[in-house]
Amino acid sequence: MARSIANVFKAYDIRGVYPSELDDELAYRIGRAFALYLKPRHVVVGRDMRVSSPTLAEALIRGLLDQGVDVTDIGLVSTDALYFAVGKYGFDGGAMVTASHNPAEYNGFKLCREEAQALSLDTGIGEIRDLVLRGEFPEPERRGIRYQRDVLDDFAEHVLSFIDPTVVKPFTIVVDAGNGMGGIIAPKIIGRLPVRIIPLYFELDGRFPNHVPNPIEPENVRDLQRAILENRADFGIAFDGDADRMFILDEHARFVGGDMVTALVAKALLEKHPGARIVYNLICSRAVPEVIRQYGGVPIRSRVGHSFIKALMRQHDAIFGGEHSGHFYFRDNWYADSGIIAAVTVIELLSREGVTVSQAIAPIDRYYRSGEINVEASDFAAVLQALEEHFRDGQIDHLDGLTVEYPDWWFNARPSNTQPLLRINVEANTPELLRAKTEEVLAVVRRVTGKSAR
C-alpha cells in the first residue's frame, strides 16, 4: 500500500487509477484521516459522473461518519459548486470526488477547509497521507450523522449574481460538456440566459465515449470546432470533466487562450470595480497586465498554482485571479475558481460591447506565444543555470523557475510540480522572433539534458 499511497497524494489533490492505485478501502481511510486532520464538525461531499465516483464517495463518507463527523451529501455537482456549498452554508470543509480532466480510469479527491480554502500537499494533503499510512484512527464519542441537500439552484443564483442577465444578447453558443459535469451546470445556469445553447455531450458518462474531458488538448475540441462552424454559432464553450475549468473558442472556431480570457474577465470586472487589484500567473501573456493597467486596475504577478494565486488574492484583497490553464478565481466566490462564473462574465461583456469574440480579443492578443513546451529533465538546477548564463543580458527573476525578459520577447522555464519535466513558455512581438528565440532556448536545454521537446 505504501507505494500506491505515495503515488496518489499529489501537489494539489489526491488522484490515481481506480482500483489499482485508489480503491474504496483507501477512500475510507482518507475520510477518517481528513476528519482527524481538519477536526471538522460538519463537512460537505460532492461527486462527479465517473463510474467509480459513487462507491468512492460512499467509502469516503463512511470514513468521515465513523470518525464522528457529520456529512451533507450534495450528490452530482461540479467542483466549483462544491466550493460554493462550503462557503455559502458555512461548512467546516468539503470533499469533491473527481479526477478532473483525467481519462476514465482515474479518480480522486479535491479537499478544502472552511471558506473553500483548498488543501495542497503543503497545507494538509501531506498530513492526511501520513495519517493514512499510520492507520491509527481513535474511536470518536459519537458517529456522525448523514444529511442530503440539493445546492444547484442556489449555486445558479450565486453565479448569475455576478452579471446583469437582462443585458445578455441572444447568442448562439455551442457548449461541449465532454460527458462531464458541464452537462448539468451549463443548462442550469447558461440555460437561464436568453441565449440558444447547442449542446454537445451533455449526457453524464464517466467512460467518456466521445473524448477525454480535457479541452486544452486540440484533439478534444475538434467536435466543438466543427459544431461552431456548421451552426454558424457566435462562439463555443468547453468544460473539463468536473467543470471547474472553462475554455472559449471564437466564432471562427479558434481556441482562445486562458490568459486572453483572463484579460477579458479582468476588463469586465474593472468596469464595475474601478481600481481593483487582479492577480495573474507569470506565464500569462504580457498583454494581461497591460490590459489590467489600461482599464485602471492594479496587476499582481504570481507563481503558477492555485495556492499561490489565492494567497496573493487574499493578501491584496484582489477581486479576480486568472491562469493560462483555464482556472479563474473570484474574491466574491470565496477566492475559489469557477469556470461558469468566468463564462457568464464573458457573455455579459460581449453583450454590452456588441462585439464578437474575435473582435473583443483582437486589441488584446498582440503578441505571439509558443504555448507550453515540455522537456524531460532530471537536473533542473543545471538547466536553469545554463539558461541564466546564456541569457544573462536580459532582465532575470526567480519568482517561479527562471524568467528572462527583453523589450521584444521573454521566456519562463520552470520545473513541473508533478513530473520530471521542464515547462517552457516563450512570447515575442513577431512570429519570426518567436521561432528564433524558442529554438535558441531549446538549444540550450538540449545541450544540458540531451532531450528534445515533447
Q: Is 15:99 a contact under the CB 8 Å cutoff?
A: yes
- For residue 193, what are the CA distances in angstroms to 109, 164, 261, 356? 32, 10, 20, 18
By DSSP bridging, strand 277-281 and strand 320-322 are parallel
List the one residue out of 304, 436, 441, 453 whose CA is nearest residue 384: 441
**229 phi/psi in degrees, rounded to 5:** -70, -45
Tell me, what DSSP letter sits at residue 108?
E
Q: Read off the C-alpha cell for 192.
A: 437561464
On the 0-12 / 13-18 / 19+ scale of CB atoms within 10 A, 407 is: exposed
Tell me, what DSSP letter sits at residue 138?
P
Q: Could you confirm whether 100 is annotated as catalytic? A: yes
* Cα–Cα distance, 41 to 38 (Å, whole number): 9
Query: Which of 100, 285, 338, 370 is flagged as catalytic?
Result: 100
On the 0-12 / 13-18 / 19+ scale of CB atoms within 10 A, 150 is: exposed
* Cα–Cα distance, 194 to 189 (Å, whole number): 11
Looking at the annotation, which residues are catalytic? 100
